[in-house]
Structure 1
Amino acid sequence: MPSRLVLDTNVCLDLFVFADARCAALLEALRAGRAEAVTRADCRDEWLAVLRYPQLALDEARRARAAAAFDAHVRCLPAGGLPACEGAALPRCADPDDQKFLELAWQSRAAWLLSKDRALLGLARRAQRAGLFRIGMPQQWTPS
């Protein structure tokens, strides 16, 4: 069974826009089916919005390729199939916009939340102590 992962938006940029070599093993695992990345509608919406940020300077063709690569490698879970997070022992992220990635990792029973965000990475020990999921950078991930 493939390792289930949640990828934050910065990791998706490295994978699907910048082709960051530090994410090569992760991309290969996704392609080979050794890892399964999941998302939900609000996380995917953020991804699509970020692709339009002026500082990325992506033309329409490049945005379309990045969106298609995301959709090819990241499965969007149906909202109705996800448990509510009320009562979950989730740590609170200092950045409220990133809380959704913690929720998704818990809801999907992911083994890992891969991130480059300091606020999320700062919760790694707390999440692991609570027996939730691991939080780390893409290069720290190893298939289980």
Structure 2
Amino acid sequence: MITVVFDTNVLLDLFVFNDFRALHLKQALIEKRIDAVASPKTLEEFVDVIARPLFCLDKSNQNLIWAQWHTLSRVLNDSELMRAPWQCQDPDDQVFLDIAFTVKPCVLMSKDNEVLKLANRAAKENIHITSNYNALSI
């Protein structure tokens, strides 16, 4: 089973937009073929993002989406995360790097350019950072 860390923008594609390019990832999550790892900070960020008026989701749908992600993910305590040796300018994105560093070897799926810039350095630590939804062999 492959271990994957999904950033918030990827989660939006999976659970809010139901992006056809990511449907195979969501199916793999549901079928437990992916060990998806999160933390309380990343769960909180996801809740904050899907509550934004931009997404037009009522509280019931927000709760349903959050519950689905929470059920499908393995949640590590923030205090247990190791600090990644590379720093991201956005502290909201740093936690995804820290999770990936803690659970390596893994894939970090991100759409954030600052995170993607760290791909070469992360590869030396057996962390594959990508925005390509077809990068996983599942």
Q: Under a length normalisation based on structure 1, what TM-score does the superposition of the two structures give?
A: 0.86
Letter in 2 for 1:42: K
Following the alignment from structure 1 to structure 2, what is the Cα–Cα distance between the partners of residues 83 and 67? Answer: 22
Runs of 4+ in 1 over 3 A off after TM superposition: none
- Deviations, residues 23-48 of structure 1 (Å, cap 9, x unaligned): 11111111222111011111111111
1:138 Cα offset (Å): 4.5
1:103: which partner in 2? 98
1:64: which partner in 2? 63
Residue segments in structure 1 that go unaligned for 5+ positions in a row: none
- The CA RMSD over aligned residues, in Å, is 1.8
Residue segments in structure 2 that go unaligned for 5+ positions in a row: none
1:3: which partner in 2? 2
Following the alignment from structure 2 to structure 1, what is the Cα–Cα distance between the partners of residues 72 and 5? Answer: 12
1:132 Cα offset (Å): 3.5
Are the aligned partners of 1:22 and 1:138 in contact in 2 as well (CA < 8 Å)? no
Matched, 1:133 2:132: no
Following the alignment from structure 2 to structure 1, what is the Cα–Cα distance between the partners of residues 125 and 52? Answer: 36
Q: How many residues align?
A: 138
SS in 2 for 1:134: strand
Following the alignment from structure 1 to structure 2, what is the Cα–Cα distance between the partners of residues 26 and 14? Answer: 10
Q: 1:138 to 1:62 in 2, by over 3 A?
A: farther
Q: Under a length normalisation based on structure 2, what TM-score does the superposition of the two structures give?
A: 0.89
Are the aligned partners of 2:109 and 2:131 in contact in 1 as well (CA < 8 Å)? yes
Following the alignment from structure 1 to structure 2, what is the Cα–Cα distance between the partners of residues 60 and 83? Answer: 30
